[in-house]
Amino acid sequence: MDELLTRTRTAVWHPCTQMKQLDTAPPLPVARGEGPWLIGSDGRRYLDAVSSWWVNLFGHCNPRINAALVDQLGKIEHVMLAGATHEPVVELSERLARLTGLGHAFYGSDGASATEIALKMSAHYWRNTGKAEKNGFLSLQNAYHGETVGALSVTDIPLFKSTYAPLLRHTAQVPTPDARRAEPGESAEAFALRCADALEAHLDEYAATTAAFIVEPLVQGAAGMAMYHPVYLERARELCDRYAVHLIADEIAVGFGRTGSLFACEQAGIRPDFICLSKAITGGYLPLSAVFTTDAVYAAFYGDDTARGFLHSHSYTGNPLACRAALAVLDIFEQDRVIAANRVKAEAFTGLLDKVAAHKRVRHFRHLGMIWAFDVADARPGFSARFHHAALAQGVFLRPIGHTVYVMPPYVTTVDEVRTLADALCACLDRPDV
Ligand SMILES: *Cc1c(COP(=O)(O)O)cnc(C)c1O
């Protein structure tokens, strides 16, 4: 095991990591996975309480997803999607179109590339419709939409963004409706409406040069699971319609049931102009992302002129294996009535996490669907890493964001496992050195 740690430090540049810190805080060597559990090369079991960066839904080594992939491996592993097509990509596009109310699926390989696709499509739409000056983008304060250069331009997290500012295109940010920022006595709804007024003021001034407003519906994940009232999305939809600005829903983190509905936008009763999907789309198996849009957007690209078309591409666009994993995920949602089952589960999980919410160090305990989060009042610098290691010692794999601890378990996690998790969280909070 020590040998693997030496080799990983030498050969692998880990994501979102200052490599020097690995000397004192080594990564967990994982040998296998089983349901919501990671099995370390030391033979110990760790509950994957963050679904491996929010991608896993139905556990590791899920027999049904495995079987779909084995079947697909015997047919075709990959074929390029320019000049060819295949059953898995067509079926997935049809089924997700029915579920999102949008269509014309365009595929990428990860979340950031979905953001890039939506931004490019939106600006290109305005160009094709004679309004090339509408090419600016608007996002929320503390937004996260990925880290490639275009996606980072609409991201608003200084730690990830500041260093690369000279490489990025200027974009505008409007106030986040993050309910923690409400004035004392102000409801989350009233605060969201106040933030929507700020959005209106911005659009009133800049709509003529704005292509799209991109948002993470209901939960700003990387900002620290910041949750907000759905009325904000309702108002954003009205305002984007009134000012002729596209609304891009980045459901990369919240899609596929995470907030309690299959897609978060459903809770606001709105349909965006673009929806970006990734992360859980394959149940955490393979990298895949997709952007769905409206017939109106699609129609603006359709014609005899090649350059009017959307000429974007990625080598692995619509990879058949990834699409089969995604189809197996949709089958599980249907066959197991996952959304309804999760509602019951989430209530039980919330009850078990009550004692965490009541802990004296905990502030702003919040919950939506299959996400629970809280802030730690007296967190000192380095809290996140210390809490991560304290949780590992308790058999739980967590990765706090700043002073926010969150739990985003795979949907197959049981009540008994969450009882253990609640005990582990309290044990970590009880440690004065964490
Ligand atoms: C993770 C995430 C992305 C980026 O996805 P990657 O696959 O990591 O590139 C974009 N938007 C949101 C909301 C995310 O949570």
- Helix/strand/coil (H, E, C) string of the chain? CHHHHHHHHHHCCCCCCCHHHHHCCCCCCEEEEEECEEEECCCCEEEECCHHHHCCCCCECCHHHHHHHHHHHCCCCCCCCCCCCCHHHHHHHHHHHHHHCCEEEEEECCHHHHHHHHHHHHHHHHHHCCCCCCCEEEEECCCCCCCCHHHHHHCCCHHHHHHHHHHCCCCEEECCCCHHHCCCCCCHHHHHHHHHHHHHHHHHHHHHHEEEEEECCCEECCCCCEECCCHHHHHHHHHHHHCCCEEEEECCCCCCCCCCCCCHHHHHCCCCCEEEECHHHHCCCCCCEEEEECHHHHHHHCCCCHHHCCCCCCCCCCCHHHHHHHHHHHHHHHHCCHHHHHHHHHHHHHHHCHHHHCCCCEEEEEEECCEEEEEECCCCCCHHHHHHHHHHHCCEECCCECCEEEECCCCCCCHHHHHHHHHHHHHHHHCCCC
Residue 184 in domain: yes
- 331 shares its domain with 341: no
- 276 shares its domain with 212: yes
- 30 shares its domain with 119: no
Does the C-beta of 58 come closer than 6 Å to ligand 1? Answer: no
So what's the pLDDT on residue 122? Answer: 98
CATH number, residue 315: 3.40.640.10
Give residue for tokens 């600016």: 136
Give residue for tokens 């990671």: 38
Does the C-beta of 106 come closer than 6 Å to ligand 1? Answer: no
So what's the pLDDT on residue 106? Answer: 98
Does the C-beta of 111 come closer than 6 Å to ligand 1? Answer: yes
Does the C-beta of 144 come closer than 6 Å to ligand 1? Answer: yes
Q: Which atom, in ligand 1's list, is nearest to the CA of 289?
A: 7
Residue 66 in domain: no
Ligand 1 mean position to 277 CA, how many Å?
9
In which domain, by residue range, is 56 found?
A: 2-61+337-430
Does the C-beta of 220 come closer than 6 Å to ligand 1? Answer: no
- 263 shares its domain with 293: yes
- 423 shares its domain with 319: no
Q: Judge contact between 219 and 259, C-beta under 8 A.
A: yes
pLDDT digits (tens, 9 = 90+) for 19-35: 999 988 899 999 999 99
Cross-strand pairs, 32: 39
Residue 68 in domain: no
Does the C-beta of 108 come closer than 6 Å to ligand 1? Answer: no
Mean pLDDT of 202-222: 98
Q: Which atom, in ligand 1's list, is nearest to the CA of 53?
A: 1
- 296 shares its domain with 169: yes
Does the C-beta of 284 come closer than 6 Å to ligand 1? Answer: no
Take atom 10 of ligand 1 and give the residue whose Cα is closest.
145
Residue 117 in domain: yes
C-alpha–C-alpha distance, residues 369 and 181, integer Å: 21
- 233 shares its domain with 308: yes
So what's the pLDDT on residue 238? Answer: 98
Take atom 15 of ligand 1 and give the residue whose Cα is closest.
253
Q: Which atom, in ligand 1's list, is nearest to the CA of 112?
A: 9
CA end-to-end distance (rounded Å), the chain: 26
Ligand 1 mean position to 416 CA, how many Å?
30
So what's the pLDDT on residue 23? Answer: 87
Give residue for tokens 């950031």: 112
Q: Which atom, in ligand 1's list, is nearest to the CA of 147?
A: 9
C-alpha–C-alpha distance, residues 419 and 311, integer Å: 51
- 141 shares its domain with 281: yes
Which residues contact residue 428 at a Cβ distance below 8 angstroms, ignoring those fewer than 6 apart? 387, 390, 391, 394, 434
Binning pLDDT at 50, 70 and 90, where does residue 1 land? low
Mean pLDDT of 86-92: 98
- 168 shares its domain with 101: yes
Residue 67 in domain: no
pTM of model > 0.85: yes
For the beta carbon of residue 242, count every other beta carbon within 10 angstroms.
12
Does the C-beta of 251 come closer than 6 Å to ligand 1? Answer: no
Mean pLDDT of 186-193: 98
pLDDT digits (tens, 9 = 90+) for 341-370: 999 999 999 999 999 999 999 999 999 999
CATH number, residue 421: 3.90.1150.10
- 292 shares its domain with 341: no
- 201 shares its domain with 273: yes
pLDDT digits (tens, 9 = 90+) for 228-252: 999 999 999 999 999 999 999 999 9
Does the C-beta of 319 come closer than 6 Å to ligand 1? Answer: no
C-alpha–C-alpha distance, residues 48 and 39, integer Å: 10
For the beta carbon of residue 169, count every other beta carbon within 10 angstroms.
13
Pocket-testing residue among 52, 252, 258, ligand 1, by greatest number of atoms within 8 A of Cβ: 252
Ligand 1 mean position to 166 CA, how many Å?
22
- 220 shares its domain with 359: no
Q: Of the candidates 279, 302, 335, which is a domain's last residue?
A: 335
Give residue for tokens 């809280």: 374
- In percent, the amount of the chain with pLDDT more than 70 equals 100
C-alpha–C-alpha distance, residues 234 and 271, integer Å: 10
Q: Of the candidates 306, 335, 364, which is a domain's last residue?
A: 335
Does the C-beta of 110 come closer than 6 Å to ligand 1? Answer: yes
* pLDDT at 2 > cutoff 90: no
Residue 109 in domain: yes
Q: Are strands 219-220 and 226-227 parallel, antiparallel or unpaired?
A: antiparallel
Take atom 5 of ligand 1 and give the residue whose Cα is closest.
111
* Tally of domains within the chain: 2
* pLDDT at 174 > cutoff 70: yes
Ligand 1 mean position to 367 CA, how many Å?
20
- What's the whole-number average pLDDT of the chain? 97
Does the C-beta of 51 come closer than 6 Å to ligand 1? Answer: no
Q: Of the candidates 305, 335, 365, which is a domain's last residue?
A: 335
Take atom 8 of ligand 1 and give the residue whose Cα is closest.
111
Give residue for tokens 């706090």: 400
Residue 42 in domain: yes
Residue 70 in domain: no
Q: Which atom, in ligand 1's list, is nearest to the CA of 110?
A: 7
* pLDDT at 293 > cutoff 60: yes
Nearest Cα neighbor of 163 from 174, 176, 152, 173 is 152
CA distances from residue 89 to 107, 232, 315, 325 in whole angstroms, order as listed? 9, 34, 15, 11
